[in-house]
């Protein structure tokens, strides 16, 4: 049996009768950049995320930059970021000329550890980026309380967390500003690059709009420094169609995660992801860890599953503080042990709304089979007691 890590073709086939007319409409109206398809999507996505304003962007990385840029983050400033995240989170700070300061993650949620944040705060710290990693919200109450004590800004990186909830409220409007990604593999994915910035602040929404379009609201009247971070019309049209299905797709992901749990819970050699009691996890990724803490076990399991036709992923094998581009910051191996352990032992299993029960069962039985083989081939340890060999 073949089990892809992600099956965008099956999803496309299920909605192509709506996708093709939506794209054709953009082409017929030659609304190639921004336009009605994008503005309609902005309105509807804001409603979905329970936030007042949405500004569509060319990518999630654009959004990461814009949220900090609009808040005045610049050279000499420091921005606190989890070590366990995709590097695009850090580009938000570096593109502003600021310095990313990394913090370890929690061993259960895999998100930034609030208990480690205050030790990283200096007189240069201006903001904290709360990443809702793998689709699970970070502990925003704890983060916001720290920010209030130290007069810091909080922004959310929601790239993997469309429709995720923190204490019953959807992410994206629970901080000053938030960024989203609509990269094709995301829970809500475009057919190319795409992103968004959300906020409840009308003045910040206006500033983000200006930054997105060369610093102008009205053409040729450039009020602030800006960039070209606009969304293409075709992406707005695709996302507009997909938006109608995201609630069902999210429910399917959560249901598939439950099926994985039920099928894998008896395997003591792996550690399953934990859904925190304050969170509604949307399972962009379903990441297991090796209980023995060995990278060799993880890599052997990945190879074994690949040979069985099962695709897996690594998120993220090298934490940010160990990336070559951040070598000048002076971090070293061992600084953030939880993030390093996750990078060494984490394995992402296939996860998408269209996963079948048979595929999930096949993945689970293959994992169980791998560990049974490992145990059966391990050298037996002999102990000597009263001259009698025992095992």
Do 112 and 234 lie in one domain? The reply is yes
Checking if the pLDDT of 387 tops 70, the result is no
Give the residue-averaged pLDDT of 283-312.
Answer: 98
Do 220 and 83 lie in one domain? The reply is yes
Do 225 and 275 lie in one domain? The reply is no
Do 133 and 158 lie in one domain? The reply is yes
Q: What is the rounded CA–CA span in Å between residue 371 and residue 240?
A: 44
Where does the pLDDT of residue 378 fall: very low under 50, low under 70, confident under 90, or very high at 90 and above?
Answer: confident
Q: How many residues does the chain have?
A: 391
Report how many domains make up the chain.
2
Give the model's pLDDT for residue 389.
Answer: 34
Do 220 and 251 lie in one domain? The reply is no
Checking if the pLDDT of 335 tops 50, the result is yes
Tokens of residue 61, six digits? 């990385």
Does 383 reside within a domain? Answer: no
155, 71 in Cβ contact below 8 A? yes
Place of tokens 């971090």: 331
Report the 10 Å Cβ neighbour count for 52: 14
The residues near 148 (Cβ < 8 Å, ≥ 6 apart) are none
Tokens of residue 237, six digits? 């049209």
Percent of the chain exceeding pLDDT 70 equals 97
Partnered with residue 153 across adjacent β-strands are 127
Q: What is the DSSP letter of 112?
A: B
Does 388 reside within a domain? Answer: no
Percent of the chain exceeding pLDDT 90 equals 95
pLDDT, tens digit, for every residue of 141-167? 999 999 999 999 999 999 999 999 999
Through-space distance between the first and last CA atoms of the chain, rounded to whole angstroms: 38
- Note if the bond before 316 is cis, omega within 30 degrees: yes
Q: What is the CATH number of the domain that holds 13?
A: 3.40.640.10
Give the model's pLDDT for residue 290.
Answer: 98
Final residue of a structural domain among 242, 274, 300: 242
Does 26 reside within a domain? Answer: yes
Give the model's pLDDT for residue 380.
Answer: 63
Does 386 reside within a domain? Answer: no
The residues near 128 (Cβ < 8 Å, ≥ 6 apart) are 79, 80, 112, 117, 143, 146, 147, 152, 153, 154, 155
Q: Is the dihedral of CA 340, 345, 350, 353 positive or negative?
A: negative
Give the model's pLDDT for residue 385.
Answer: 43
Does 2 reside within a domain? Answer: no
Checking if the pLDDT of 367 tops 80, the result is yes
Final residue of a structural domain among 211, 242, 273: 242
User: Which among 318, 287, 298, 316 has a CA at the least distance from the CA of 374?
Assistant: 298
Do 44 and 171 lie in one domain? The reply is yes
Give the model's pLDDT for residue 223.
Answer: 92
114, 134 in Cβ contact below 8 A? no
Q: What is the mean pLDDT of the chain?
A: 96
Q: What is the CATH number of the domain that holds 306?
A: 3.90.1150.10
Final residue of a structural domain among 210, 242, 274: 242
Do 223 and 319 lie in one domain? The reply is no
**In 160-224, which ranges are continuous DSSP H helix?**
202-212
Q: What is the rounded CA–CA span in Å between residue 151 and residue 155?
A: 13
Does 384 reside within a domain? Answer: no
pLDDT, tens digit, for every residue of 3-25? 999 999 999 999 999 999 999 99
Do 291 and 221 lie in one domain? The reply is no
Does 379 reside within a domain? Answer: no
Tell me the residue range of the domain where 347 lies: 246-374
Do 55 and 153 lie in one domain? The reply is yes
Checking if the pLDDT of 388 tops 80, the result is no
pLDDT, tens digit, for every residue of 38-97? 999 999 999 999 999 999 999 999 999 999 999 999 999 999 999 999 999 999 999 999
Give the residue-averaged pLDDT of 204-212.
Answer: 97
Does 365 reside within a domain? Answer: yes
Tokens of residue 367, six digits? 């994992």
Give the residue-averaged pLDDT of 160-177.
Answer: 98
Do 230 and 251 lie in one domain? The reply is no
pLDDT, tens digit, for every residue of 97-139? 999 999 999 999 999 999 999 999 999 999 999 999 999 999 9
Do 95 and 227 lie in one domain? The reply is yes
Do 110 and 224 lie in one domain? The reply is yes
- The Cβ-side half-sphere exposure at 23, using a 13 Å CA radius, reads 13
Position with higher pLDDT, 376 vs 231: 231
Tokens of residue 141, six digits? 């109450």
């Amino acid at each position: 049996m073949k089990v892809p890590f992600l099956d965008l073709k099956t999803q496309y086939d299920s909605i192509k009768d709506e996708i093709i007319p939506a794209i054709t409409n953009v082409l017929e109206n030659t609304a190639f950049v921004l336009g009605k398809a994008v503005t309609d999507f902005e309105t509807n996505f804001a409603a979905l995320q329970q936030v007042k304003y949405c500004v569509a962007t060319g990518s999630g990385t654009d959004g990461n930059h814009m949220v900090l840029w609009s808040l005045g983050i610049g050279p000499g400033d420091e921005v606190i970021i989890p070590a366990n995240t995709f590097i695009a989170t850090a580009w938000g700070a570096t593109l502003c000329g600021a310095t990313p300061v990394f913090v370890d993650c929690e061993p259960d949620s895999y998100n930034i550890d609030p208990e480690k944040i205050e030790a990283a705060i200096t007189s240069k710290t201006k903001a904290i980026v709360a990443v809702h990693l793998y689709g699970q919200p970070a502990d925003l109450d704890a983060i916001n309380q720290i920010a209030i004590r130290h007069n810091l800004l909080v922004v959310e990186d929601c790239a993997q967390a469309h429709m995720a909830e923190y204490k019953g409220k959807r992410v994206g409007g629970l901080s000053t500003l938030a960024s989203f990604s609509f990269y094709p593999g995301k829970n809500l994915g475009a057919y190319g690059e795409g992103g968004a910035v959300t906020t409840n602040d009308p003045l910040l929404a206006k500033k983000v709009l200006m930054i997105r379009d060369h610093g102008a609201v009205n053409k040729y009247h450039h009020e602030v420094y800006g960039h070209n971070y606009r969304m293409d019309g075709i992406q707005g049209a695709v996302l507009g169609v997909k938006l109608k299905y995201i609630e069902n797709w999210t429910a399917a992901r959560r249901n598939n995660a439950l099926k994985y749990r039920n099928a894998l819970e008896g395997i003591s050699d792996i550690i399953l992801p934990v859904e925190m009691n304050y969170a509604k996890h949307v399972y962009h990724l379903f990441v297991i860890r090796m209980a023995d803490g060995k990278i060799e076990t993880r890599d052997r399991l990945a190879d074994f599953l690949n040979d069985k036709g099962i695709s897996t992923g690594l998120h993220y094998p090298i934490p940010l503080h160990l990336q070559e581009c951040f070598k000048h910051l002076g971090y070293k191996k061992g600084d953030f042990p939880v993030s390093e352990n996750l990078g060494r032992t984490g394995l992402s299993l296939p996860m998408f709304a269209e996963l079948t029960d048979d595929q999930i069962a096949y993945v689970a039985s293959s994992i169980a089979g791998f560990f049974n083989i490992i145990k059966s081939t391990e050298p037996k340890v002999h102990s000597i007691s009263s001259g009698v060999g025992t095992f």
